[in-house]
Amino acid sequence: MSGEPYRGIPCGNRNVRGIIMRFVSWNVNGLRACLRKGFIESVQSLDADVIAVQETKMQPGQADVDLPGYRQYFCSAERKGYSGTAVFSKIEPENVKMNFGLHQDEGRAILLQFPDFYFMTVYTPNAQPELKRIDYRMEWEDDLRQYLLELDQEKPVILCGDLNVAHEEIDLKNPKTNRGNPGFSDQEREKMTKLLASGFTDTFRYLHPEETGAYSWWSYRFNARKNNAGWRIDYFLVSDRLRGRIRSADIHSEILGSDHCPVSLDLK
């Protein structure tokens, strides 16, 4: 993100002593339902320049997302009411690409190309109970990592979304009883370790290495959210060379409307 290509773009009160861009990611577990639960007001309060949404569960045109000033990009699954991603951006990208590689039918990825960086949001496939879909999940992980590395050779990458894995024991409330379950299997955690080792930084853990009780998803069962028995499975990852530009990486657990909460990243 060299230079100042976005001088003059409104960034709220964050635009002090240099340009700060804010990115937000949120698995809304059905965008149409979330719109009825305050989605517009919630994302407006976060004052982001780019908003990524996962699990939209809709086709374009099925709902009016009233966000003036934002360009809207939707990637929908072929199967209606399933998966899906969207990005809302105040900044016009140079190029937009839906999906990647062989993963074309479930609407799980959107890539925006900006002059100095790539921005990508993904909704990673769930391994399913008893790890029934773990083979496909492993293929996805390998293909995504390779794709990110290819992009990273051209310019830095910002990746966000529901990555459907709690990386370390600190990232979920009950690691011992969940070991081997989808989202906390050894295979999925190892793939995350490999991705980070290949040149990417988990922005939240970079700034908050020891913080406990920081979760972004809670089951609807057993009063999990009330008891903060959650998982941190929503992430912002950046190319390692962007580490010095990280200003904040936050989890907005106070925002309701989904079984996930938004996560945000501020970059200079």
Question: Which residues are tagged catalytic?
Answer: 123, 162
* 210: its two tokens: 């020891």
Angle at 196 between CA 178 and CA 236, to 5 degrees: 80
Q: How far is CA 204 from the centre of its chain?
A: 12
Whether the CB-CB separation of 145 and 196 falls below 8 Å is answered with: no
What is the Cα 216 distance to its own chain's centre? 11
Select from 215, 199, 229 the least CA-distant residue to 260.
215
Question: Is the Cβ–Cβ distance between 46 and 257 less than 8 Å?
Answer: no
φ/ψ (deg, to 5) at 143: -65, -40
Residue 50 is given by DSSP the state E
Q: Which of 20, 87, 84, 12 is nearest to 44 (CA)?
A: 12
